[in-house]
Structure 1
């Protein structure tokens, strides 16, 4: 009788431990998502974006494919904040995040990497594909302008770099940043919603 009681008690303890382990695993998964997500836009944050570039670099080292990284810098967010406050700016950032997420393929990843900077990893894409996709994202962001306050015109600039063999994530991001800054310095044309 005692053995049976002991076995039942142990079975109950094992079941309780399994439930606790399950709950812990769900909590860990939720924390991993929170750690990777930028809360306002709902996109990946810079750290998760860097990890995605590292994944693309490792993948390219094993398989014959090319991946690109695009940066999109948005001007005009200060006017939205001035007209609608921080809540209005947060709504605009969420709309931009939703637009970027809707404008990429399921294999691609997009992130908010700075106050007014967004980025995308474009998997298995040629340089021309990357350029077209990023321009499409810019046009989609520009189309959002109709819902923003009058006088709060937004415009975007972008850069695209291909992930080269042997490059590090930091080198890829630095190259894209450099191209973006060079475009700003030389007056690169911007894509705007209101013409």
Structure 2
């Protein structure tokens, strides 16, 4: 820490104190950026968490409202995760979540956002997507995950998801879209049962 009494009439001392303060500001800005990232990322899978997802969803809503862009949200629920946890342990459940997240990320465009909303639920923001594109993406992801070969300690464990689609309208807010996509997902689950 610098001497609290810097002689401002001494150019060398003043320059040294300014350099020290600039370094301290840069260190603090870096720390704030790290904390912001931690606050918006899921620690298990390294994708945005609900808070990070909501931030991106609100940004897309603003673009829909301002520019008339199209967008959709997919609400993804992993089927049977409690059963996997109960029968094979939480490590298996974590591995299943990681595998599903990898398949979701690799199954959408790089500009789309995949996030873990909590527990066994994921959200996907599809930019520039109308209802047909969103429905096709959801169906493709459901098939892809059902067809994957997931094993834990040599035991094959089936994975499946239910996905609901919520199309973003200009007068929506984030909670309304999440509720719409969540309700659509529950209708899919009920129809499959």
Are the counterparts in 2 of residues 41 and 95 from structure 1 also a CA contact under 8 Å?
no
Answering whether residue 86 of structure 2 is matched by residue 82 of structure 1, we say: yes
1:108 aligned partner: 112
Instruction: Supply the distance in 2 between the matched residues of 1:188 and 1:139 (Cα, whole angstroms).
Output: 14
The equivalent position to 1:131 in structure 2, one of 114, 131, 135, is: 135
- The match for 2:50 among 31, 46, 54 is 46
Q: 1:147 aligns with which of 151, 158, 169?
A: 151
**Which residue of 57, 66, 70 corresponds with 1:66?**
70
Distance 2:148 2:179 in 1: 29
Matched residue of 1:104: which SS?
Answer: coil
Is the contact made by 2:151 and 2:157 (CA closer than 8 Å) also made in structure 1? no
User: For the residues of structure 1 that align with 2:91 and 2:192, how far apart are their CA atoms?
Assistant: 31
Where 1:164 maps in the other structure, the secondary structure is: coil
1:122 matched to 2:145: no
CA distance in 1, matches of 2:144, 2:47: 16
Q: Which range is displaced more, 66-75 or 76-85? A: 76-85
What TM-score do you get using the length of structure 2 for normalisation?
0.86
Aligned residue pairs, count: 186
From the superposition, tell whether residues 4 and 130 of structure 1 become closer, same or farther in structure 2 (CA, over 3 Å): closer
CA separation of 1:183/1:96 partners in 2, compared to 1, >3 Å: closer, same or farther?
Answer: closer
- 1:63 to partner: Cα distance: 1.2
Once residues 63 and 110 of structure 1 are traced to their aligned partners in structure 2, the CA distance between those partners, rounded to angstroms, is 23
Q: Does 1:157 align with 2:172?
A: no
SS of alignment partner, residue 174 of structure 1: helix
TM-score (norm 1): 0.85
User: Does the C-alpha gap of structure 1 residues 25 and 4 become closer, same or farther in structure 2, counting only changes over 3 Å?
Assistant: closer
- Pick closer, same or farther for the CA change 1:4–1:31 going to 2, 3 Å: closer
Runs (5+) with no aligned partner, structure 2 = 1-6
Q: Distance in 1 between matches of 2:22 and 2:144?
A: 47
